[in-house]
Amino acid sequence: MAENPIKIEAPAFGRTAAQWFAEAPTSPGAPPVSAVAVPNPLDESVLAVLAEWPAVHESLVADRLAKATAFTTANGGTTAILTAEDAANAADISAIEV
């Protein structure tokens, strides 16, 4: 029988999820857009486009936080299932070993 190259260890799931969640950019707050008087129409048009950025950024942060939370929750469920199955399989194996 060929060796299975995929190895899943339940404790690693929790550590990976926690690390990913800690590193996910979920902090609110966007860099401020300059409110300095603009000397020409090009600068004015660029600042007009940038004026929407803080609101867009806050929306993206909220969405990212929701998705990161959902991922972490789902990963916790997967970890619990794998841990329980591993314990059940170990008990089954122990029961049939002589």
* Residue 51 falls inside a structural domain: yes
- Reported confidence tier of residue 1, pLDDT bands at 50, 70, 90: very low
Give tens-digit pLDDT for 13-33: 566 666 666 666 666 665 555
pTM for the whole structure: 0.45
* Residue 8 falls inside a structural domain: no
* Residue 75 falls inside a structural domain: yes
Give tens-digit pLDDT for 66-87: 888 898 888 888 888 888 888 8
* Residue 32 falls inside a structural domain: no
Give tens-digit pLDDT for 28-78: 665 555 566 667 788 778 777 778 888 888 888 888 888 888 988 888 888
Number of domains within the chain: 1
Cβ-Cβ contacts under 8 Å for 14 (sequence gap 6 or more) = 75, 76, 79
* Residue 73 falls inside a structural domain: yes
Range of the domain at 69: 38-93
